[in-house]
């Protein structure tokens, strides 16, 4: 059992929702809120959205990033600088392999601010994008090669297929 397996078995599961408050992230990652605010200054990859009164809202991929930072610092014994280098190396590998985090792109396509949707077509698009984001969040980082999709478990593959079918219907 690897270090990440140990951490995941201790940490609570991440609910399938779009945004998390700093208090929720603190509970999900077993890290105090003031530590999360400090890590935002130390790790450039960690950029929660800020709304009214500078309230922080974290997305799923940021919660995963915080868990990774926690693992590097608390489980593997890295310094802040060492953990920062580890994350930079992982980012460089992802850039070279062409991997990207699709949920970030999908979330950017959904309008922010809670305003009402003008048409039912826009509402369907938003629902499809949110479904795709949940599916991607369940699967994690999508592999750059399609052959790797064979390694997905049945539930994740089904969720991803449903989301892709919804998007295809919207585009078609």
Identify whether residues 20 and 43 lie together within a single domain. Answer: yes
pLDDT at residue 100 greater than cutoff 50: no
Identify whether residues 8 and 91 lie together within a single domain. Answer: yes
- Per-residue confidence at 65, pLDDT binned at 50, 70, 90? very high
Identify whether residues 40 and 111 lie together within a single domain. Answer: no
Distance CA 55, CA 50 (A): 5
127-158 core/surface letters (b: 16 or more CB in 10 A; e: else): ebbbbbbbbbbbbeebeeeeeeeeebeeebbe
Identify whether residues 144 and 82 lie together within a single domain. Answer: no
CATH number at residue 12: 1.10.1660.10
Identify whether residues 35 and 91 lie together within a single domain. Answer: yes
Identify whether residues 46 and 130 lie together within a single domain. Answer: no
Identify whether residues 17 and 65 lie together within a single domain. Answer: yes
Identify whether residues 62 and 136 lie together within a single domain. Answer: no
Domain finish residue from 97, 125, 146: 97
Identify whether residues 84 and 148 lie together within a single domain. Answer: no
pLDDT at residue 115 greater than cutoff 60: no
Give Cα 34 to chain centroid, integer Å: 21
User: Three-state SS across the chain?
Assistant: CCHHHHHHHHCCCCCCCCCEEHHHHHHHHCCCHHHHHHHHHHCCCCCCEEEHHHEEEECHHHHHHHHHHHHHHHHCCCCHHHHHHHHHHHHHHHHHHCCCCHHHHHHHHCCCCCCCCCCHHHHHHHHHHHHHHHHHHHHCCCCCCHHHHHHCCHHHHHHHHHHHHHHHHHHC
What is the number of domains present in the chain?
A: 2
Q: What is the pLDDT of residues 130-159, one digit of tens each?
A: 655 555 554 454 444 555 555 667 777 777
Domain finish residue from 97, 125, 141: 97
Phi, psi (rounded to 5 degrees) for 31: -135, 135
**Is the distance from CB of 82 to CB of 108 less than 8 angstroms?**
no
Identify whether residues 44 and 86 lie together within a single domain. Answer: yes
Distance CA 37, CA 158 (A): 37
Kindly report which listed range (76-80, 133-137, 156-160, 163-167) carries the lowest average pLDDT score. 133-137
Of residues 152 and 36, more confidence is placed in 36
**Is the distance from CB of 133 to CB of 125 less than 8 angstroms?**
no
Model confidence, pTM: 0.52
Identify whether residues 152 and 78 lie together within a single domain. Answer: no
Q: Which domain holds residue 158?
A: 102-171
Domain finish residue from 37, 64, 97: 97
Distance CA 75, CA 122 (A): 44
Identify whether residues 142 and 117 lie together within a single domain. Answer: yes
Considering only the C-alpha atoms of the chain, give the largest distance between any 2 of them, rounded to a whole number of Å.
52
């Amino acid at each position: 059992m690897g270090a990440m397996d140990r951490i995941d078995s201790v940490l609570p599961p991440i609910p399938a929702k779009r945004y998390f408050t700093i208090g929720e992230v603190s509970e999900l990652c077993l890290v105090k809120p003031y530590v999360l605010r400090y890590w935002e200054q130390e790790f450039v990859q960690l950029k929660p959205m800020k709304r009214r009164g500078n309230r922080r809202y974290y997305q799923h991929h940021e919660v995963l990033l915080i868990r990774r930072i926690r693992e590097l610092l608390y489980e593997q014994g890295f310094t802040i600088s060492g953990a920062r280098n580890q994350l930079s190396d992982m980012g460089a590998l992802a850039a070279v392999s062409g991997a990207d985090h699709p949920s970030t792109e999908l979330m950017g396509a959904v309008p922010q601010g809670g305003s009402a949707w003008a048409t039912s077509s826009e509402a369907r698009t938003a629902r499809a994008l949110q479904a795709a984001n949940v599916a991607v969040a369940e699967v994690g980082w999508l592999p750059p090669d399609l052959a790797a999709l064979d390694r997905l478990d049945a539930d994740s593959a089904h969720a991803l297929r449903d989301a892709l079918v919804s998007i295809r219907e919207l585009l078609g």
